[in-house]
């Protein structure tokens, strides 16, 4: 059943409110309209494009991060619960891939995961002491990598915490890492 423009726009607002990271392409499929129609609807409703929505969420979240400045994070943090969990997004662009085959260089996936492990650590000085990583499958130009970090252990006595990071493209698992983080004991001032 085809929705009226008013109904579609109302549902579009609800969908984006529930999931601000949904793409125009996914919205077009969901409502069986063209991507251009979705873009026009967003413009009429003053809903920014995906990149701006991500940036807005990241800026709100990033006030909490103490261990590194925003320009040093690889990817965009979209959720952050200090000493608990975090999520970041990395759009794989031409500068991230080998030119001969458009496959992402592994150090970009590692950097995204490592900087997320640093960001989730609630400490003025969080450094990676050790990392164990595994690449599961290739990531290609145009893919969106979602990295999910979870703090599994905090040992204040030893000044260490362990952060597990798993990365996905869509539902496909592409990378995992276990990061042992050095903590100075200087927690952020709340």
Task: Report pLDDT for 60.
Answer: 58
More confident call, 73 vs 109: 109
* Phi and psi based region of residue 165 (left: phi greater than 0; alpha: psi -120 to 50; beta: remaining): beta
Class of domain 5-47: mainly alpha
Task: Report pLDDT for 73.
Answer: 79
Q: Is 111 exposed, middle or buried (0-12, 13-18, 19+ CB in 10 A)?
A: middle
- Digit-coded pLDDT (tens) for 28-74: 999 999 999 999 999 898 888 877 776 666 555 555 565 566 667 79
- Digit-coded pLDDT (tens) for 111-152: 999 999 998 998 888 899 999 999 999 999 999 999 999 999
Q: What is the number of other CB atoms lying within 10 angstroms of the CB of residue 67?
A: 24
Provide the residue ranges of all domains of the chain, joining segments of one domain with +. Answer: 5-47, 60-183
**What CATH superfamily is the domain 60-183?**
Hotdog Thioesterase (3.10.129.10)
Contact of 15 with 8, CB cutoff 8 Å: no
Out of 46-50, 52-56, 78-82, 101-105, which region has the weakest mean confidence (pLDDT)?
A: 52-56
């Amino acid at each position: 059943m085809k929705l009226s423009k008013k109904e579609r726009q109302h549902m579009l607002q609800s969908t984006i409110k529930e999931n601000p990271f949904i793409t125009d392409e996914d919205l077009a499929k969901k409502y069986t309209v063209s991507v251009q129609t979705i873009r026009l609807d967003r413009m009429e409703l003053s809903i920014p494009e995906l990149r701006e929505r991500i940036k807005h969420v990241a800026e709100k979240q990033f006030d909490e991060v103490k261990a590194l400045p925003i320009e040093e994070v690889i990817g965009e943090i979209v959720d952050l619960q200090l000493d608990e969990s975090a999520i970041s997004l990395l759009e794989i662009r031409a500068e991230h891939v080998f030119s001969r085959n458009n496959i992402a260089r592994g150090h970009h996936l590692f950097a995204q995961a490592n900087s997320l492990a640093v960001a989730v650590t609630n400490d003025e000085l969080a450094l990676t002491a050790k990392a164990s990583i595994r690449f599961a499958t290739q990531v290609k130009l145009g893919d969106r990598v979602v990295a999910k970090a979870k703090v599994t252990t905090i040992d204040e006595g030893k000044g260490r915490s362990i952060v597990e990071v798993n990365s996905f493209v869509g539902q496909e698992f592409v990378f995992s890492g276990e990061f042992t983080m050095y903590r100075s004991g200087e927690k952020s001032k709340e």
